[in-house]
Amino acid sequence: MQYQGSCHCGKIAFTVDGEIGSVVECNCSHCRRKGFLLWFVPQEAFHLTTSPGDIETYTFNRHVIKHHFCDVCGCAPFAQGKDAKGHPTASINVRCLEGVEASSLKITPFDGRSR
């Protein structure tokens, strides 16, 4: 299935291919404050449909995950990093996907605070 996603104002837009099995709710200082529900996909499944120049990036802690956000509305629809095997991944904030109801998804807690 292909999903459409964007920031609140639409300046950042993308598509992502795959099936949402479950999402991760991380309790680290960043994800907890933002209320993220994250779906991790291979980078190849993620397709930015707007200009990369419209994206701002924030990193913290070990600076290995690039948290992307819009400089207009402040919404953070996705991040990029690598999985445990070193493969490039995109973490999609499912709250920024059209037609996806977060309450219908299986949510898996992750203890990012302790890492």
- pLDDT (0 to 100) of residue 31: 87
Q: How confident is the model at residue 112 (pLDDT cuts 50, 70, 90)?
A: confident
In tens, the pLDDT along 8-31 reads: 999 999 999 999 989 999 998 888
- Residue from 33, 28, 39, 1 nearest 17 by CA: 1
- pLDDT (0 to 100) of residue 79: 96
- pLDDT (0 to 100) of residue 30: 86
In tens, the pLDDT along 37-80 reads: 999 999 999 999 999 998 999 988 777 789 999 999 999 999 99
Calpha distance 64→80 (Å, rounded) = 9
Q: pTM for this structure?
A: 0.91
